[in-house]
């Protein structure tokens, strides 16, 4: 891969979004400017010609991540840019507070938690997340909670007219790690309990669907748990044990368990004093909960 000089690479930017021209297709506009493949333009503004010559040259150039100014130091070959940026720990989020667009804040996922604490403190939940929604009224909220040092967005939507309620939990961070988390919804009324579980979703949007949420039929719920208008909904997160709690990277040998809770990789050992090693036949170090 060729690394271009800083003053050259900074000129290779999209005229629409300002990101590097590192994501295909690269289209030419009539005014001579170029548009990257990240941008979706109205049909009347679509450029007419694809710059295949540029793409051929760019395929041997390494590009900085578009979230460079936020702290990402990665330099990537052309073919890897899109995948990395979709999973980058420094990618930018808009504030997910409901109604959408009422808060103009943008920042990284770690900054989002501080923003919620400062500007939307009622939407920051303790763990486990406990809710008592009014089942007779429509409503929708996006909460934040931290578990094991990771940040999750908890989406709750209720349609009283449709008689349905949806719960979706999204992991805020590298989307490659979402497969390591499940969440459980427990609905309780006195001694009666209903439980459902589902895999945590990536933060690839805010749309709630049957595929990414736990759907609850309110009528069935009342029949099973009683006709109370308010029930207790508890959301818990289950982690599958192969991500370091400290550096948030995939665990590889040596795998360590901290006495204060959580698995850690060997690289983080020097930062943690309260640690024990346990070994199994696969040469991992661990202890069972």
pLDDT at position 277 over 50: no
8 A C-beta contact, residue 135 and residue 119: no
Segment 95-109, tens digit of pLDDT: 999 988 899 999 988
pLDDT at position 126 over 70: yes
Q: Which residue has the higher pLDDT, 77 or 134?
A: 77
Looking at residue 103, what is its pLDDT? 95
Segment 23-42, tens digit of pLDDT: 999 998 888 889 999 887 76
Segment 147-195, tens digit of pLDDT: 878 899 999 999 989 999 999 999 988 777 788 888 999 888 766 777 8
Rounded mean pLDDT of 44-69? Answer: 87
Question: Which of 1-10, 53-62, 271-280 has maximum average pLDDT?
Answer: 53-62
What is the pLDDT confidence band of residue 8, given thresholds at 50, 70 and 90?
very high
Of 164, 160, 175, 170, nearest to 199 by C-alpha is: 170
């Amino acid at each position: 891969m060729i690394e271009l000089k800083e003053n050259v690479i900074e000129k290779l930017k999209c005229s629409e979004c300002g990101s590097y021209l590192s994501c295909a297709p690269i289209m030419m506009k009539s005014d001579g400017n170029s548009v990257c493949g990240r941008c979706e333009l109205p049909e009347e503004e679509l450029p007419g010609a694809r710059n295949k010559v540029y793409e051929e040259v760019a395929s041997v150039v390494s590009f900085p991540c578009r979230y460079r100014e936020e702290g990402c130091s990665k330099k990537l070959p052309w073919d890897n840019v899109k995948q990395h940026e979709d999973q980058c720990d420094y990618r930018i989020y808009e504030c997910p507070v409901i109604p959408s667009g009422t808060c103009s804040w943008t920042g990284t996922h770690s900054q989002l938690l501080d923003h919620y604490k400062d500007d939307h403190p009622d939407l920051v939940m303790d763990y486990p997340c406990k809710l008592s929604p009014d089942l007779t009224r429509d409503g929708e909220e996006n909460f934040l909670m931290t578990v094991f040092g990771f940040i999750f967005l908890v989406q709750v939507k209720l349609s009283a007219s449709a008689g349905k309620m949806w719960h979706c939990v999204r992991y805020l961070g590298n989307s490659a790690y979402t497969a390591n988390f499940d969440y459980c919804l427990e609905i309780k009324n006195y001694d009666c309990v209903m439980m459902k579980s589902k895999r945590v979703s990536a933060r690839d949007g805010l749309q709630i669907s049957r595929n990414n949420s736990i759907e609850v039929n309110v009528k069935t719920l009342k029949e099973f748990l009683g006709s109370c208008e308010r029930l207790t909904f508890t959301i818990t997160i289950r982690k599958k044990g192969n991500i370091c709690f400290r550096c948030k990277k995939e665990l590889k040998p040596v795998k360590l368990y901290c006495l204060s809770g959580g698995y850690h990789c060997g690289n983080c050992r020097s930062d943690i004093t309260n640690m024990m090693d346990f070994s199994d036949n696969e040469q991992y170090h661990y202890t069972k909960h």
